[in-house]
Amino acid sequence: MLFEQNRKRIYALAYQYTKNKQDAEDILQETFIKTYNYLDKYKVENDSNFSSWIYRIGINCSIDYLRKKKNKKEDFSDWETREKTLPSRHPNPEDTIGLEQLREKISHLVESLSPRQRMVFILKHYQQFSIKEIAEYLDCSEGSVKKQLFRAVSAIRSPLKKYLWEKDYGMQKI
């Protein structure tokens, strides 16, 4: 059923974007409220189908949500879930990094991206949309998406150098 697919897709995206169940639920609610309120603005002539339209609302709700959250004074009401995502205060004495720590590190790097960069990165890297599709969802040019994507990847890869370069990763060339 169409709405079943949509609610799951949007919730999954919102969760991947915020890494927080409560935030993802809030975004889902906001998306459905906006969809309901904007029903009369949906244009039949629009090329995008209804699923794309609601997904776009979900994407924009996610970005807005994060922007508002970042502008607010930080609160600690999510301390229960927050604890799990904090970086380890006691790194391994040998300064090696396990997969779980690496996952945490990457998660923090993704969180440090601007709301829009984060969305571009998630849509491209995890949701595997094309740059053209992302540009349509975000209502911007493909060039803008490419720039945002490059900046996002750069912001993630540079801090990881310390962990990846030191290890024995075979650097293959084309």
Partner 1 sequence: MACKKYKEQIVLYLYGELGEDETAALKDHMAECAECADEYAYTKKVFQVLDETKTDQVPEANWEKCWNTIDGRIQGKGPKKKSLSLFPGWAYASAVLLAVFVVGFFFGRLAFFKPDQKSPALLQGSQSAMYPSLQEHFENLKPVLLEYANYTSSPENGKITIDKSIIRSLIIQNILLKRMIAEQDPSLKEILEDVDLVLREIANQEGDDKEELEMIKSLIQERGIIYELEVSKTI
Chain positions contacting partner 1, by CB under 8 A: 1-3, 6-7, 11-12, 15-16, 21, 24-25, 28-29, 32-33, 35-37, 39-40, 42, 44, 49-51, 54, 99, 102-103, 106, 124-126, 130-131, 146, 149-150, 153, 156-157, 160-161, 164-165, 169, 171-174
- Give the Cα separation of 56 and 54 in Å (integer): 5
Nearest-approach distance from CB 161 to partner 1, in angstroms: 7
Which distant-in-sequence residues (6+ apart) come within 8 Å of 42 by Cβ? 50, 53
Residues 62, 17 contacting (CB under 8 angstroms):
yes
**Is the Cβ of residue 3 or residue 70 nearer to partner 1 in the bound state?**
3
**Is the Cβ of residue 32 or residue 63 nearer to partner 1 in the bound state?**
32
Distance from CA of residue 108 to its chain's centroid? 12
Residues 27, 62 contacting (CB under 8 angstroms):
yes
Nearest-approach distance from CB 82 to partner 1, in angstroms: 15
**Is the Cβ of residue 34 or residue 69 nearer to partner 1 in the bound state?**
34
Nearest-approach distance from CB 70 to partner 1, in angstroms: 22
Burial of 163 (0-12, 13-18, 19+ CB in 10 A): middle
**Is the Cβ of residue 47 or residue 73 nearer to partner 1 in the bound state?**
47
Residues 34, 10 contacting (CB under 8 angstroms):
no
Nearest-approach distance from CB 87 to partner 1, in angstroms: 14
